[in-house]
Structure 1
């Protein structure tokens, strides 16, 4: 055995080297842990991106959760049995009577052409005694007939008059007022173009191609110019709608992006925004406004004049918080938006790992219980006060449980992960999210506004962008009219034909007031 003798200095050097290697190893281990977290976050982001590209966009749960989400009214109804406190209790889905399957009847309001089918006279004889048969009734069956677009020309002949005694007395019948001065399209044609684009998401170039098949040879540029002009012409109606909306006790707000190609001082690729507002009380109003940005300056202009002391429902975008503070509004948070974060966090988990014990799944299930209470209230057609009592009894304990889960996981999950973002969003919005239980008339989410903005998002996939700022403003105005009509149960096409016909004659504020969707539809019947 060989004995090695070290000096004190050599020993100290070896110890220092060992400690240095340990520190280096610890540092590398730390770097490995950091890199693993980064890799995990990148994989999560990749899965989320792939899900947006290829997975179904719906957030509807599986059959079991969907039943709980929409059919919990019976489960929450008073039965005399004690209510279990644990969220894991089984829910029995009540039986229901299956409806008889059959062909859906055709709309009775559709016009009908009657085609009578009669036997020849030679066959109207009784086979038993030869007596003449008499009519005792008819058997009715119906088919749906579709008449393709009919393009026609309305020729206006303005009669000219002259004095037979001199050359000075010539008169010409005045031309009828048009919504677009010297416009090529009638009110009916304009209404068809507007509803085709803003209700059916049919781009103008496809409209032009469709019209050409029926002899209407109009260019996309002509249709676009007509859209801009008629969108500008309806501005007085939009102003009145805004006045009514800002006077509502409850206002919903949201925004989405829009690309405007020819905007002065900005690149074509720059994002602009379409702001959406919806009335939660009073006549249903859906308003859209174009703005080049998403900041407080643009929001201030849209909410200028809002009734102080009202209620604002929105997502967690910080600008809305400033609006609520400036105008003294009660600010409500959107549970659908909060839930969406947890849905995204759950979606990136391996399918084999998506079990009820997962944190995102637990939050989603708890939020579903909140919505089950709302479903029960709708099923029972509860008024605001009874809804408030139901929320206090059923929703408040669930909110307390969600808050406990939030506090348990908030500081132990990586903040930049999808789950971390979901938890931090929930934490930041918690006071706004829980406020709805204080008043039975307050909504649980902002779906009313999101549903109004969805047709624009669908249409945007087809026409992709607005060409000019004027076009973006016109689109916002026309979308507002179409969606307000839909919210009031009014046929947008019929309303727009009526509006475009009567708007040129409107001069005073009272005249314009009578042209609001819910008033014009009533007076036109």
Structure 2
């Protein structure tokens, strides 16, 4: 209502009522304005989340999966992929003013073909001039003064041969064995031992087909087709069943490996999807999992693959009972315990990604440190840059995490001792981590929780205590890249053979991947290792032990 001087009452009480009424009305209007602005803010956040989700889906459908940018994109100012070179590769420290990884000046090697190994047999093929041209115009014969040679790589397809195992029979023609009835009339050598009993396939053949499948990702059905072209008729089921039979001889060694591995003080664990048919109580379309565990046995890196029907890490409960038996005091480990854990003794460290099943398993294991992965944290922000390359916050934190990796590269290049590495992390890495922590706490209250930035910050905050552990333990990697690299051969193979036909086959596959990947780590040809192992068992049948794991070349 409108008011003027003439319409106002002269009574003071009435005037006060009007003032109070108008004031309350103004307060209501302001409250409605606040509510409207809040509703508008929430609508804008929701719109932003939807647009963000649309962009992420576009990236999934049409974008590439690599986190590396091409040189053209770098030249155009798009953020580099600073971390994938990480500590396993030489990653120089980034400049403060640049988002791109600087390259050290160095003398470039001359380009040229790498020579073929000396152990390859050489066959000389002579290309000579005709005899008629070996006479000079003066009439004198030409003398050979030298030669030019070049090498070309040749290959002979796999040579198939048949082993004929002969066991001579012996008998006495004079008495025909009647002189001693306790002895056999005919003597013959005992049936020779086979790694796969009563199989028509030799140990060398089995080593070859197993290596083809688990090292070269060539499934049995393709091998069957290749053999058929050579005139050999073998069914896929024969190869599969024989491989399972061979694994029965190897399983004690795998079990010993598992026990010894969990005496290590530092493990990395990861898992990936596997489809297994004919699992009890499960549909054939349901998911199972292949777990990969990396640690040290006798100071040598060892990888163990393990099949489980579910993604729950509960199966590790019994295994962890052996973990870190060679434990040290906290001061010896140089580790500080987060979240109020006991500080008297530490069994060891398990490093994983952010999967919650590990948290459920390890939260009650007070003497086991659960470390996180900086690369997983960084990846969340890098995904934002795929959608919005100019996002300043994502650019900043990716660059800061990149500095942590640059410090690790410096430690690797300098071949620092554990004490020196720890000192470097405390003096340099800790400052960077502190900057990230301050930035995270400020930004997390400013962004929509369901936006990409909100989710990335939420993941970072949730993993924060685990991400700090590396600062106090120089042996700890920044990330789980090593064990993720161990998973890749399995993932490549899975694309070709798609599924395991039965749980026994999945278990055998895990065992073969374990042996073959460890042979690769040791610098040994997987085929040669398996062939020699099988032949050794046939000469001396025994319980295979951990001592027969692949040993690094030179040991």
- TM-score w.r.t. the length of structure 2 is 0.79
* Structure 1 pair 401–378 and aligned structure 2 pair: CA distance change class (3 A): same
1:50 shift after superposition: 3.8
Most deviating of 274-283 and 295-304: 295-304
Question: Which residue is 1:472 aligned to?
Answer: 506
* Structure 1 pair 246–22 and aligned structure 2 pair: CA distance change class (3 A): same
Question: Which residue is 1:335 aligned to?
Answer: 374
Contact 1:238 1:477 (8 Å CA) reproduced: yes
* Structure 1 pair 128–213 and aligned structure 2 pair: CA distance change class (3 A): same
Question: Which residue is 2:189 aligned to?
Answer: 173
Question: Which residue is 1:7 aligned to?
Answer: none
| Larger helix proportion of the pair | 1
Question: Which residue is 1:252 aligned to?
Answer: 268
Correspondence 1:484 to 2:518: yes
Unpaired segments ≥5 residues, structure 2: 1-23, 178-183, 326-346
How many Å separate the matches in 2 of 1:203 and 1:24? 68
Question: Which residue is 1:130 aligned to?
Answer: 140
Residue of structure 2 aligned with 1:187, choices 200, 203, 216: 203
- Cα-to-partner distance string for 1:361-416 (whole Å, 9 max, x where unaligned): 22111111111111222222222222222222322221111111111111222222
**Pairs within 5 Å for 1:336-375:** 336-349=375-388, 354-355=389-390, 357-375=391-409
Question: Which residue is 1:277 aligned to?
Answer: 293
1:436 shift after superposition: 0.9
- Cα-to-partner distance string for 1:36-65 (whole Å, 9 max, x where unaligned): 544543443343344234322221246556
How many Å separate the matches in 2 of 1:163 and 1:96? 81
Most deviating of 241-250 and 44-53: 44-53
* Structure 1 pair 177–90 and aligned structure 2 pair: CA distance change class (3 A): closer
- Cα-to-partner distance string for 1:138-165 (whole Å, 9 max, x where unaligned): 5331110111122222222222223323
* Structure 1 pair 26–108 and aligned structure 2 pair: CA distance change class (3 A): same
Q: Which has the larger radius of gyration?
A: 2
Question: Which residue is 1:319 aligned to?
Answer: 357
Question: Which residue is 1:411 aligned to?
Answer: 445
Contact 2:99 2:399 (8 Å CA) reproduced: no
- Alignment length, in residue pairs? 501
How many Å separate the matches in 2 of 1:228 and 1:504? 17
* Structure 1 pair 296–97 and aligned structure 2 pair: CA distance change class (3 A): closer
Contact 2:350 2:370 (8 Å CA) reproduced: yes
Question: Which residue is 1:461 aligned to?
Answer: 495
Question: Which residue is 2:68 aligned to?
Answer: 60
Question: Which residue is 1:300 aligned to?
Answer: 317
Correspondence 1:436 to 2:436: no
1:88 shift after superposition: 6.2
Correspondence 1:493 to 2:502: no
- TM-score w.r.t. the length of structure 1 is 0.84
How many Å separate the matches in 2 of 1:181 and 1:187? 11
- Cα-to-partner distance string for 1:269-289 (whole Å, 9 max, x where unaligned): 211111110115711211011
Contact 1:194 1:227 (8 Å CA) reproduced: yes
- Cα-to-partner distance string for 1:92-146 (whole Å, 9 max, x where unaligned): 644332332222222233233334556666665566572573x665533111011
How many Å separate the matches in 2 of 1:206 and 1:125? 57
**Pairs within 5 Å for 1:93-132:** 93-117=103-127, 130=140
1:24 shift after superposition: 9.8
1:313 shift after superposition: 1.7
- Cα-to-partner distance string for 1:475-498 (whole Å, 9 max, x where unaligned): 110111111111111111111111
Question: Which residue is 2:18 aligned to?
Answer: none
How many Å separate the matches in 2 of 1:193 and 1:166? 46
How many Å separate the matches in 1 of 2:104 and 2:532? 48
* Structure 1 pair 67–107 and aligned structure 2 pair: CA distance change class (3 A): farther
* Structure 1 pair 368–277 and aligned structure 2 pair: CA distance change class (3 A): same
* Structure 1 pair 23–405 and aligned structure 2 pair: CA distance change class (3 A): closer
How many Å separate the matches in 1 of 2:539 and 2:157? 32
How many Å separate the matches in 1 of 2:47 and 2:98? 34
* Structure 1 pair 246–75 and aligned structure 2 pair: CA distance change class (3 A): closer
1:29 shift after superposition: 7.8
- Give the alignment's Cα RMSD to 1 decimal: 3.8
How many Å separate the matches in 2 of 1:323 and 1:405? 29
Question: Which residue is 1:156 aligned to?
Answer: 165
Q: SS at 1:262's partner residue?
A: coil
Question: Which residue is 1:382 aligned to?
Answer: 416
Q: SS at 1:285's partner residue?
A: strand
